[in-house]
Amino acid sequence: MPATPLINGINYSWANISWVMFGVPVVGITKISYKRKLKKDNNYGFGQHPISRGYGNYEYEGSVELYTDEWKRIIAASPDRDPLAIGPFDIQVVFQGSRLTTERDVLRSVEFMEDPLEASQGDSKLLVTIPLIIAAIER
């Protein structure tokens, strides 16, 4: 069976993502992860099978991995040099390219949850992973 050629065969890739914080693109980012989930439970009554389903809260979680020098710049711009003291802010994750439709996810009321550092002998680059608390994700 002959293969069907791709039409507009361009997908989003890491090169098409930018992360904007406080109106400034953050270039030292190497990974971003975020998700939302909705609590769902089966409800049981008579018998062994669910009789209904209950829905709870939306939950959001995420993290960002970046070079330590980028993190140090965020720390330097933080109140009292404490990134955990930065008030809630939005992060824009922009997907764009010359032949792609521009899309934007907005992480609302984000705060940093940790201020870590980890380094090992022989490391040629230092990265930190910062967990985020997120109030909402707009797609």
> DSSP letters along 98-117, please?
TTEEEEEEEEEEEEE-----
pLDDT digits (tens, 9 = 90+) for 13-48: 898 899 888 888 889 999 999 999 999 999 999 999
| Alpha carbon distance 108, 5 (integer Å) | 40
Q: What is the pLDDT of residue 2?
A: 64
pLDDT of 6 > 70? The answer is no
Asked if residue 12 is part of any domain, the answer here is no
Reported as a pLDDT band with limits 50, 70 and 90, residue 101 is confident
Considering the domain boundaries, does residue 21 fall inside one? yes
**CA dist 112 to 59, 71, 130, Å?**
16, 11, 7
Q: What is the mean pLDDT of the chain?
A: 92
Q: What's residue 21's pLDDT?
A: 85
The answer as to whether 48 is a domain residue is no
| Residue 68 resides in a domain | yes
What is the β-pairing status of strands 89-97 and 100-112?
antiparallel
SS3 36: strand
In whole angstroms, give the CA distance from residue 16 to residue 119: 29
pLDDT, one tens digit per residue, over 75-99 is 999 999 999 999 999 999 999 887 7
Q: Residue 90 belongs to what H/E stretch?
A: strand 89-97
**Enclosing domain of residue 104:** 17-41+53-138
> Is 93 a domain residue?
yes
Residue 3 lies in a domain: no
What CATH number is attached to the domain comprising 63? 2.30.110.20
Residue 36 lies in a domain: yes
pLDDT of residue 8: 62
How many Å apart are CA 78 and CA 132, to the nearest integer? 16
Indicate whether 47 belongs to any domain.
no
The predicted model scores a pTM of: 0.85
Structural domains of the chain, count: 1
